[in-house]
Amino acid sequence: MKQKGLRYDGSIDKYPIAEGEIYCLGNGSKITIADITNGLPDFSKKADCVFIDPAGNKGVLKAYYTKAEKACPVQSFDEFVTYIKSCIEQIKPERIFVECFARNKNQILPMVESLFPNVKVYNNTYYHIKKNECWIIQGSKQPEDWGLDGMDEWDAVFKICKEVPFNAITDFFLGQGLVAEAAYEAGKVFYGSDMNRNRLAVAINRIAKRGGEWTIKK
């Protein structure tokens, strides 16, 4: 029997998403399984906004691969950051938001600076705990301030989805679906992927609980 930890809340029993399947909503939102080191889903490349919350370092990344029951193919966190950068270059979005922590800010910030002429760093928290410090790094074509300073990441993502103009937002580390939930609530299109099907099933279930009706394309 699989360990409970790998199955999260067990949503996978209700939504057994498999490799190659695309879960779709009527408004064009999509979720599929993808490891970014093997390439992005084609639909993700149509997004004009990106929000991602990548693993914080090599150790955390390896743990995510273990949880996904996959072998970690990268030798260093720097190598992983080159894959992230390549994904963003393929999407060519108007703007990106990358959540980072003290342990990976030194790698994420220069990556965003290398891609966009305007970079803004917001001070944020996670899990609504003041001492849980994180940053949302925004890269954009024009200088912009979306007023995210001081917000918890959860509220910041909801604010981004509600107030930032975009046709579709993508998160290629969708996990349990914060970006999907926030975009769905705002009535916006999202494209989500992650290498871990158990985590994506949690996201799919959360959207269903908010009223989303999924169809599956093979």
- Selected from 176, 182, 184, 192, the binder of ligand SAM by CB under 6 A is 176
Instruction: Write the CA distances from 68 to 32, 33, 34, 37, 45, integer angstroms.
Output: 14, 11, 11, 14, 24
Q: Of 83, 95, 154, 151, which Cα lies nearest the Cα of 122?
A: 151
Residue nearest ligand SAM by beta-carbon distance? 175
196 binds ligand SAM (CB under 6 A): yes
DSSP per residue, 112-163: HHHH-SEEEEEEEEETTEEEEEEEEEEEESS----S-TT-BHHHHHHHHHHH
Give the binding range for ligand SAM (CB under 6 A) out of 85-93, 132-140, 161-169, 172-180.
Answer: 172-180
Q: Which one, 125 or 196, has the nearer CB to ligand SAM?
A: 196
Q: Which two tokens stand for residue 174?
A: 């969708």
CB of 117 to ligand SAM, least distance (A): 26
Give SS3 for 178.
helix
160 binds ligand SAM (CB under 6 A): no
37 binds ligand SAM (CB under 6 A): yes
Give the binding range for ligand SAM (CB under 6 A) out of 34-42, 104-112, 127-135, 140-148.
Answer: 34-42
36 binds ligand SAM (CB under 6 A): yes
- Which residue bears the tokens 């090599």? 58
Sign of dihedral through CA atoms 42, 189, 93, 127?
A: negative
Q: Which one, 62 or 118, has the nearer CB to ligand SAM?
A: 62
Give SS3 for 61.
helix
- Selected from 9, 35, 48, 155, the binder of ligand SAM by CB under 6 A is 35
> x/- string (CB under 6 A) for ligand SAM, residues 79-98?
--------------------
Residue 180: other Cβ atoms inside 10 A: 28
- Selected from 158, 173, 184, 191, the binder of ligand SAM by CB under 6 A is 173
- 3, burial (CB in 10 Å: exposed 0-12, middle 13-18, buried 19+): exposed
53 binds ligand SAM (CB under 6 A): yes
- Selected from 194, 204, 205, 206, the binder of ligand SAM by CB under 6 A is 194
Q: Which two tokens stand for residue 1?
A: 């029997």
Residues lying near ligand SAM in the complex (CB under 6 A): 35-37, 53, 55, 61, 64, 68, 173, 175-178, 194-196, 199
